[in-house]
């Protein structure tokens, strides 16, 4: 009987404690284009690859947020597009009793870090299925990306606005 009473009391205590929960991780959108096929497939040059990654946050409720990682990989040969892959990997995250000042960094750092392996895998898979060598995206420092966005927001608020329009991470080849 004492065990049941203490378990019930623990459940009440846990309800008031801060918690972070992943409700769902899903592939929201994925597209592959090969606009210059089949002619471009006969060109025997090394493609130049450009990768762009961005983070978007959408509030779904008081404590529930959708975080999306949006990525674009563009491969070009001789200035023409070999293939273009766009993906939107998303997740629904619940924040219970977490202080407001901690939610924004979690949305900008922790959530994208959780989603990124799924995005990398899905993009490499679709590129491979299209008949190309898979491209495995490099690791991203989401903390640095978040700090960069804070600086941009501060500059925009100060009225300079310099660099505020470009917030995507563009990875080197």
Find the range with the poorest average confidence among 67-71, 98-102, 160-164: 160-164
Residue 88 falls inside a structural domain: yes
Find the range with the poorest average confidence among 44-53, 58-67, 87-96, 152-161: 152-161
Residue 165 falls inside a structural domain: no
What is the CATH number for 28?
Answer: 3.10.420.10
pLDDT tens across 65-84, in order?
999 999 999 999 999 999 99
Phi and psi at residue 27, in whole multiples of 5°? -90, 110
Number of domains in the chain: 1
Task: Report, as an integer, the average pLDDT of 81-106.
Answer: 94
- Determine the Cα–Cα distance for residues 87 and 46; give it in Å rounded to an integer: 23
Q: Which domain, by its residues, includes 66?
A: 16-99+114-140
* Helix 111-129 and helix 142-157, axial crossing angle in degrees, nearest 10: 110
Which pLDDT does position 2 carry in this prediction?
53
Residue 163 falls inside a structural domain: no
Tokens of 80: 């023409």
pLDDT tens across 133-159, in order?
999 999 999 999 999 888 988 888 887
Burial class (CB in 10 A: 0-12, 13-18, 19+), 158: exposed
Which pLDDT does position 149 carry in this prediction?
86
């Amino acid at each position: 009987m004492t065990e049941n009473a203490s378990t019930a009391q623990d459940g009440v205590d846990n309800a008031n404690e801060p918690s972070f929960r992943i409700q769902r991780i899903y592939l929201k959108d994925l597209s592959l284009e090969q606009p210059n096929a089949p002619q471009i497939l006969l060109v025997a040059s090394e493609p130049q690859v450009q990768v762009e990654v961005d983070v978007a946050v959408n509030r779904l409720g008081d404590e529930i947020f959708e975080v999306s990682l949006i990525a674009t990989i563009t491969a070009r040969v001789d200035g023409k597009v070999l293939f273009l892959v766009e993906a939107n990997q998303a997740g629904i995250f619940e924040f219970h009793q977490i202080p407001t000042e901690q939610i924004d960094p979690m949305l900008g750092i922790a959530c994208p870090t959780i989603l990124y392996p799924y995005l990398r895998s899905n993009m490499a898979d679709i590129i491979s299925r299209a008949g190309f060598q898979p491209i495995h995206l490099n690791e991203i420092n989401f903390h640095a990306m978040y700090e960069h966005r804070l600086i941009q927001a501060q500059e925009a608020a100060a009225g300079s606005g310099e660099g505020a329009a470009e917030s995507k991470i563009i990875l080197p080849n």
